Structure 1
């Protein structure tokens, strides 16, 4: 999944959690925590791959062996500071990232590419990229995972916009605008 789509998924998942808990839309801080959590696996893995420390872009940040202890720690720290909701939002964002990297491999039958889930115990082969999902009858147009990701991105941005763009104001204050 494209990195920006993970941000939308993290927001959508957290917004769904808020709605399920009886709220209407995420608050500023938790929205940022969810989006940051959704971005973090790539922020960890892509730089170390880019500089050649590892051979692929999904290793430690995408591994459940790292993710689970990290989200438990983040939740515990947030809870100890009376900000448990930030820990929940971070956990939802982070785990949504890892979870949404799974379906494309399953749908395409590339099960061997799921090695990132337990890396370094299981090997992570090179990612083969965008997956074909089928062909539109009569048009001979191949539908790929990018099509579905575009729909998810538009839905996430649309809901975030409808909710009043939570998380944007603290960023504006921080940069002085």
Structure 2
């Protein structure tokens, strides 16, 4: 999956969790945690592989279930200890859903399930070439837009775009967390500035 697709799945899962379990919408900190968690495997593995050569493949430590599950459990327990259990749940959902998300991508594109990306170091994925992370991400975005705007877009691209649009609508329904809190902060600062100016 591409970064924006992982982000959509992470937020979607956490928002649904909030609505079903807690009967509320996510807050800003939770939305950010879901987003960070959804990107964490790639933030660990892609730079360490593509740019620094620590791993042979962009699917290594961060994508491994042998690393992800203990890290997720530890992060969840740590967040709960500090009274931020919901932030821990958001981070864990985003992180753990990244792994099957990458597997689903192969199923949708090629019709086969390849588990190597999540079984490192027991099974290793094919080596990745050295490449700049930001440059590749920008290139993937343009390829995604080209595929989406093609006269006959692939089914998997339409499915992915549908998830993104659905998640964006859910985010708006939730009150646009993060943006909502930023706007409230700006209004407060403006109110204080106007109040100070009139005094």
TM superposition score normalised by structure 2: 0.72
- Match for residue 159 of structure 2? 148
Deviation at 1:118, TM superposition (A): 1.2
Listed as ranges, the matches of 1:28-67 within 5 Å are 28-51=28-51, 52-67=53-68
The whole-number CA distance in structure 1 between the counterparts of 2:172 and 2:153 is: 31
User: SS of 2:154's equivalent?
Assistant: strand
Higher fraction of helix: 2
Higher mean C-alpha deviation, range 22-31 or range 63-72: 22-31
Deviation at 1:166, TM superposition (A): 0.9
Higher mean C-alpha deviation, range 70-79 or range 96-105: 96-105
Residues 17-38 of structure 1 deviation map (CA, whole Å, 9 limit, x = unaligned): 1111141311121111111111
Deviation at 1:162, TM superposition (A): 2.4
The whole-number CA distance in structure 1 between the counterparts of 2:182 and 2:112 is: 39
Unmatched segments (≥5 aa) in structure 2: 129-139, 141-150, 191-199
CA contact (8 A) 2:38 2:95 kept: yes
User: SS of 2:115's equivalent?
Assistant: helix
- Match for residue 168 of structure 1? 179
CA contact (8 A) 1:105 1:114 kept: no
- Match for residue 25 of structure 2? 25
Any runs of at least 4 consecutive aligned residues in structure 1 with deviations exceeding 3 A, and if so which? 168-173
Higher fraction of strand: 1
- Match for residue 11 of structure 1? 11
Deviation at 1:42, TM superposition (A): 1.1
Unmatched segments (≥5 aa) in structure 1: 130-139
Q: How many pairs are equivalent?
A: 163
Output the aligned Cα RMSD.
Answer: 2.5
Counterparts in 2 of 1:48 and 1:5: CA distance versus 1, 3 Å: same
Deviation at 1:10, TM superposition (A): 0.3
The whole-number CA distance in structure 2 between the counterparts of 1:168 and 1:12 is: 17
User: SS of 1:21's equivalent?
Assistant: helix
Which of structures 1 and 2 has the bigger CA Rg?
2
Residues 52-105 of structure 1 deviation map (CA, whole Å, 9 limit, x = unaligned): 332322211111011101111101111111111111111111111112112232
